[in-house]
Structures are given as structure tokens and as C-alpha cells.
Homo-oligomer: A and B are copies of this chain.
Amino acid sequence: MTTATPAKTKAYEELTSLLRDAAVLHSMQATLAWDQETMMPPGGAPLRAEQLETLAGMVHTKKTDPRIGELIAACEDDSEVMGDARRSANVREIRRDYELATKLPGSLVGELARASSLGMEAWKDARSKSDFAIFLPWLQKTVDLNRRKAECYGVPSWGAELYDALMDEYEPKMTAARTQEIFRPLREFTVKLVERVKASKAPAGVDEVHTAIPIEKQKEFSRRVLEAFGFDFRCGRLDESAHPFCEGAGPGDVRLTNRYSEKAWLDQLSSASHEGGHGLYEQGLPKAEYFGQPLGDAISLGIHESQSRMWENQIARSRGFWEWAIGVAKDVMGAPVAGMSADQVFRAANVVEPSFIRVEADEVTYNLHIMLRFDLERAMIAGDLKPKDLPGIWNERMKKDLGLTVPDDRRGCLQDVHWSMGAIGYFATYTFGNLYSAQFWEAMARAIPDRDDQIRRGEFGAILAWLREHIHGVGRQYSAGELCERVTGKPLASEPLMRHLEAKVESVYG
């Protein structure tokens, strides 16, 4: 039996073809940006900046071409296109992207770009000197420009405040109010959990785990683990850079990076698993069919982060994982790890300890760092917190939530790059990642009852297949919230993550 493929309309074809052209240009940006962080000799920096600026301009021109607006309208009027679930989802998301790209006046885009570039320089200077006064005027400018940006976008129909317009760029359809609703119980719970950890005895044998391992061996260990996870090295790489990242340039080319130091073999495995999770998502997106179209893209930063966090935390920080991985570690790294037990490494990978720096925080305290940033940036956009008062409020909150006295702004409100780049509305997506990850993980457990045994045997195929089917393969067909309900049967909530963290602390600290 043959089923005739319904004829696509001309407008839809032209539209997706124009977007593919833009995506090819964008993929060059991705590869050249990767090269800049991994391979480029320092002398190549000025030319690289010129290349990337040229490409950014070309991509922007392609994406804001008025012809795209006409074609979207034509598709929206075409019942054949709109009657098809996937194509209509594509048109809906193309409309969204086009409006985001065209709503800002060119003058504001330019001001944002300049403020980001100069603000980052000022921030680097301020951080190195731990001098908030240097950064303050740029923070003020970022808040002002972001408010103007939010006004151009307008408060979304599902939102209630200007901040919602900013958040929508990173986590579509999410709102500050809904975020607060989810964060409030998580914060209360986490503060109590940290208290409980503080009152417990430190886990045994942890210091011995942080022993020196030659970096080439560490790399081989990570590679073996990523191969077992299912990362396809025929369509990807793993290299070194100052900060780990994942760059999905396009179909068939997804590159991970990691950083190494001799005693941090366990940390590098965590970041390899984290970036590997991003990479598995990129490799699982249906880009062969939909490159350049929303259906081939990631849903949101939160969903992307859920994939990295799941491989990093639910998997590579689990006891079962280490029952398998300790064998691989001994096989690859030999003598220095020969005397370690799976349990011992598992405990070392899960030590909870309040600290000043977000990117160094453990799985439990991490979300407290995020919730602090979310509350403070939201208050700055609302006008309830003046940028000049940021350090004081920051330090107060660190004391209250983590029991720490911030010694200087370098280890306080000057630690992150995001605000200097003009990114407000972004931070919460890190905790969304943790929340989605925990909620997906529980849904997956119902579908794969022997999952934990599989992990103990180093078998990750069923896990990856489930992720491919339910999350990776759908691209942007649904919003993050819709996806969550489809996959887990419930809207995003804080309970699954709280259950996960509670069980983790229980198994490490008793």
C-alpha cells in the first residue's frame, strides 16, 4: 500500500528553505566559535571577531527578511499546512522567532551589543579587583536596556510583569510568578536539607579519591564513559577549552569540550557527563530532516539543561553508575584508583558543602545560588532593588540561605558573567534543568522498571532510546511546559527534585 505524501505548499517550502540558508550561516558561526575556544592561535582573534560579526549580521538579515513575514502569513492562511501537527507547530514557532527578531529597533540592538561588549570588559576588571563600583554603571545600564527590551517585546499574554518578557527569550511561556511558586518550596526544603548535612558526619574516605591522575588517562576515561552513554564520536568530538561547553553546529557535528587538572579526575567526569548530556540532546534532535526549522531545534534552555543534568547527576553521580564505572576507571587509570571502592567514589561525587561560587557548588546547594539570582534580578527589573544595593542584599541572602559570610564581591555578586553580557531572565533555567531532569527521571523509571540494574551493568541504551523518543526527537513541537505534561503527566513541580535530593543526601549522609 502506498500513501501519497500531501503536496506541500510553495510558501512553506520557500520559508523553510530561507531558514535553512540562515542555519547554514549560523552553523559556520558555531564552528568558528568552537575553533576560537579550542584551536585558534591568539593572533587570530581580531580576524575571528570580524568573521563572527560578519556572520552575525548576515544571519540577522536573513532572519528578519520581510519576505519571511510574508511567507509566515501565507502559511497561516493555508489550511493544509495548519492542519498538519508538525508543520503547524513549525509555523507557530517560526512566527515566534520572527517576532522576537523583528520587535527590537536596530538602535536598541546596537546599544545592547555595545553594552554587552563594554560591560564584559568592565566586569572582568571589576571582578579581578573585587571592586563593585567599577561594574555598577554597567549593571545599571544593563537593567535599563533590559527594561527597554522588555517594553519592546511587551508583557506576554500569559504573563504579568516586564520580567516575563525577558524570561520568555530563554524559557518560552514560563513566568516569574510560576517560577516563584515552584522555587519557594524548593528553597525552604534545601535550606533545611543543608542544615541536616551540616549536622551530619562527613562521609568516609572522600579525600583519598582526589588523587592525581595523568590527564591523558582522564581523557580516555571520559571518552569511554561517553561512548557507553551513546555519544556518537563519528558525529562529534571531545576537546579541551578554558570552560567546558557543547557546540552543536548542525547535523553530524556536535562538539564537546572539557577542562582538566591532575587531581580533578572526578570533576572532569562530571563535566564530561554534563556536556555529553547536552551533546546527546543535540545529536538526538531531528536535524537531518528539520535543520534550520524549529522542529529541529532545542525547546528551551531549561530542557537543554535537563539533559545535561540528568547524565551528570541522576546518572553519573548515582551509586549504580559507579558500580560499573569504577571498573572502567581502574581499567583505564590503573594504580592510583586501584584501591578505591564504588561506594567511596560515589560518596566523593556527592559531598554537600555550602560555598561561595555557583559553578563550583554541589548538586544540593546549587539551586540556592540560582534562586538568589532569580529573586534579585527580578527585583531589579521591577525597580524594587537598586543595582547599587545589590552587594548588600546578595551577602545577606548568602548568610541566610547558606550560612556563609561573603568575604568580597569577587566571591559574591561579581562572580557571574551573565549580567555583564546583558542576560537577564537566564539564571532560572539552570534550576529548571534540575527540576525537569528529576521529573523526567521519575517518569522514565515507570517506563524502564529495571533501569537501575541496567546502569549497574553500564547499559544506557534504553535510557537514551527513551530520551530520544520522548524529548530529543520532538524538537520544538511543544513548549517546555507542554512537553513536561506529555512526558510526565504533570506540570513542572518541585517535588521530584526534592525527592531526588533527599534520597541522595540520605544515601551519602545517612
Listed in ascending order, the chain A residues whose CB lies under 8 Å from chain B are 21, 24-25, 27-28, 31-32, 35, 39-48, 50-51, 54-55, 232-237, 249-253, 255, 291
Contact = CB atoms under 8 A, between A and B. Distances in A.
* Chain copies in the assembled complex: 2
Contacts of A50: 24
Contacts of A252: 41-47
Contacts of A35: 31, 35
* In the A-B complex, the 9 residue pairs with the closest CB atoms: A43-B235, A43-B252, A44-B253, A47-B250, A44-B252, A43-B234, A28-B51, A24-B54, A42-B234
B41 A237 contact: yes
Contacts of A233: 41
A53 to B, nearest CB: 9
Contacts of A24: 47, 50-51, 54
A233 B39 CA distance: 12
A306 to B, nearest CB: 25
Nearest to A40: B253
A227 to B, nearest CB: 13
Nearest to A288: B46
The secondary-structure label for the interface of chain A is helix
A505 to B, nearest CB: 40
Contacts of A237: 39, 41
A42 B254 CA distance: 11
Nearest to A42: B234
Nearest to A29: B28
Contacts of A249: 44, 47
A217 to B, nearest CB: 15
A35 B33 CA distance: 12
Given A47-B250, A249-B47, A251-B46, A28 B32 contact: yes
Q: Which of A44, A55, A237, A249 has the most CB of B within 10 A?
A: A44
Given A31-B32, A54-B25, A47 B251 contact: yes
A45 B236 CA distance: 12
A252 B27 CA distance: 23
Given A25-B54, A41-B255, 16 more contacts: A24-B50, A27-B47, A28-B55, A31-B32, A41-B233, A41-B237, A42-B234, A42-B235, A42-B252, A43-B234, A44-B235, A44-B253, A45-B252, A47-B249, A47-B253, A48-B253
A60 B54 CA distance: 17
A236 B236 CA distance: 24
A251 B43 CA distance: 8
B42 A39 contact: no
9 contacts: A24-B47, A24-B50, A24-B51, A24-B54, A31-B32, A41-B237, A42-B252, A47-B252, A48-B253
Nearest to A239: B39
A215 to B, nearest CB: 14
A75 B198 CA distance: 78
Q: Which of A27, A42, A47, A236 has the most CB of B within 10 A?
A: A47
A41 B251 contact: no
Contacts of A54: 21, 24-25
Q: Which of A31, A235, A250 has the most CB of B within 10 A?
A: A31
A164 to B, nearest CB: 36
Nearest to A36: B31
B43 A253 contact: yes
A378 B251 CA distance: 44
